[in-house]
Each structure stands twice: as C-alpha cells, then as structure tokens.
Structure 1
Amino acid sequence: MKIAFPFQKDMVANHFCKAGDFCCWDLDDSQNHIAFTNPSTNDDCAGHQLIVERLVDFGVSTVLVRQIGQRMLSRLLDKSISVWQLKGPLAAQDLAQYQQHWEQVATALTEVSQGRESVKFAQKHSCSDGCGAKQTCAEHEHHHGCGHCHCSHH
C-alpha cells in the first residue's frame, strides 16, 4: 500500500495544499519512498494539479490529511485515491502502525462536501448584482477578466 501525506517538521501538516513538502511511502517496502517540495506555493491550480500527478505517478492509493479543500479533495477522489482526515496531530513516523486501521486515527472522506470550502475560490467566482452585493453565480462561466459579472439574471 502506498500512502502520501503533506508534512512539516516530521508531522503531518495542518493543510494539504499549504504544506511545504509531501512524502510518499510504500508501506510494504519501507525503502521505497519519495519526498517532494510542494509545487503549489502560490495557491495556483497548475501547482495543485502537479501534486495530484506526482501522487498518481508514484501509485499512491491513500492520502492522509489534517485539512483539505473541496477542490483538491475532488481531484483526489476522481483519481480513486482514498482520503483520510486525521483526528488530530500525528508524527509521520507513527503512520505505519495504522496502515490497516486508519479508522483508529482518521475519518474517511468520501464526499467532496466533507472538504473545506475555499474562500479564495468563492471570491474569485462571485457576481456583483450592480449594487455592490456579491452573489454566487453558477449559471454561467466568467469569460471576462475582472472575475465579477453584472448579469441580468440577478
């Protein structure tokens, strides 16, 4: 079984996409592991996609997280990677002992709604109704540069 987790100072990091580094371990072969620096330092979509690609390339089947956003959770679930949210802080060295019993220290995340909503994403994809109030606009895509629409359906 190959697992991955974001880490910082020998602990599973608090937030998946904001971690400095990632570690991928093959729990069946302790010599087979890799670590890589987070390619998504600017909170950008391309960097987030690179994280997923690296996990898939290593053959990761399970990801352990403390916090994860809905969009990244969706990307992982779409790749059939199981995601487990730890119930509290956990040292990286202690992960191997739970490999068959993640439920002892974590909760399975199986629905995108179980991830955290991205405030930044919501702000980027909001609409202005003309009076300055912002509302979510799911009825169409924004094709203009400012990120706000002044559409008539509000």
Structure 2
Amino acid sequence: MIIAMPMSRGRLASHFTKAQRIVIFNEYHQLIANFDNPALTGGCSAKKAMLDLIKAQKADIVIVQHIGERMLGKLLSASISVSKGDSRTSIEQLLTDSSDFNRRMLNASEGRTSLNHENKGGCCSGASGGCGCSTKGTASNNLAVHPLKTKSTDIARLKYSGFRVVT
C-alpha cells in the first residue's frame, strides 16, 4: 500500500493542491519519496501534473484535510482512496488513521465547491479544448452539490471566501 500526503511545514497541508510537497510513504509508514508540488505553479495543467505525479507513484491512498470537488472526483475516478485528516494530527497518526474506512471520502460532493473556477470562466473554455475538468460550477441555491453535472443557473448569486458565505 502506497500513501501520498500533501505537506507544508512538516504537517499535513490544509489544502490539497496548495501543499508545498507531496510525500510518499509505504505500508510500513516509511518515507519513500518526496516531491515539490507541481500544482503550485497554478492552473489546471499544474493540478493535472500533481494528479499525474500521485498516479505515477502508484498511490493507493491520499490523505487530505481540504480538497476541491473536482480534484477529489479525479482521485476517486483513478481508484485512489482519499482519507480525511487534520493538520494538527501527527504524521504517524495520520498514516495509521488512513486505513480507517470511516475516514474515507467516497463521493466528489464531499470536496469543496470551486466557485472561483466558474467566475474566472473555467479552464475548459480555452481554444485548446480545456483540461478535461467539468465545465460549470455545481452548486444550486440550497448549496447541494451535484458533481460532474453542468448547472449554472444559481452560480452567479453565490460568493465564497474560505468557509464563510459573503453577500
């Protein structure tokens, strides 16, 4: 079993794609690889490079604190399990907890919705055909999430800043 963990400052990164490093551990919790996070350069192609790195390392499990619904959906589609963690928890405890099925994220809707993606026009609207992520935001006015479905009717009315709704 291979476990990937996004890390910043020696702890689990609070947001998956904003981690400084991607650290890979084996089933015995031994460090086997340590990479600069390619997603830090920004954009969908950089996030795809991060996903490709994790796939290339043959990760079975990724530990996250916060992750966007698009990236979560891509990990799950690649048959990579995603375990919920907390940056205040020790690395050893996070690695141990990653085998607990009660911590698993099973649906892309458990990830955070990116309204910025839609507000910026999305990355899929470019002349090159885009990056392959979904083309529209996924929130409705009751904040229900419908991953990988295109629904843009109520997106313009919602604005987020971190976890707080901004009106």
* Same structural fold, with TM-score higher than 0.5 when normalized by the shorter chain: yes
Q: Which residue of 2 aligns with 1:64?
A: 63
Q: Which residue of 2 aligns with 1:80?
A: 79
**Separation in 1, partners of 2:19, 2:86:** 18
TM-score (norm 1): 0.72
Flag the structure with larger Rg: 1
TM-score (norm 2): 0.66
Aligned partner of 1:8: which letter?
Answer: S
**Separation in 2, partners of 1:97, 1:81:** 17
Once the two structures are aligned, what percentage of the paired residues are identical? 25
Q: Secondary structure at the match of 2:19?
A: coil
- Please state which structure has a larger fraction of its residues in strand: 1
Q: Which residue of 1 aligns with 2:104?
A: 108
Q: Which residue of 2 aligns with 1:14?
A: 14
Report the alpha carbon displacement of residue 114 of structure 1 after superposing the two structures with TM: 0.6
**Separation in 2, partners of 1:101, 1:49:** 27
Unpaired runs of at least 5, structure 1: 127-134, 141-154
| Number of residue pairs aligned between Structure 1 and Structure 2 | 128
Report the alpha carbon displacement of residue 139 of structure 1 after superposing the two structures with TM: 7.6
Unpaired runs of at least 5, structure 2: 123-135, 138-149, 153-167
Q: Which residue of 2 aligns with 1:118?
A: 114
**Separation in 1, partners of 2:35, 2:116:** 25
Specify whether residues 118 and 90 from structure 1 end up closer, same or farther in structure 2 by C-alpha distance, changes over 3 A only: same
Q: Secondary structure at the match of 2:16?
A: coil
Q: Secondary structure at the match of 1:125?
A: coil
Q: Deviations over 1:18-69 (max 9, x none)?
A: 1111101112372x61111111114311111111111111110000000000
**Separation in 1, partners of 2:58, 2:7:** 19
8 Å CA contact retained: 2:14, 2:87: no
**Separation in 1, partners of 2:41, 2:116:** 12
**Separation in 1, partners of 2:8, 2:87:** 15
Q: Which residue of 2 aligns with 1:26?
A: 26
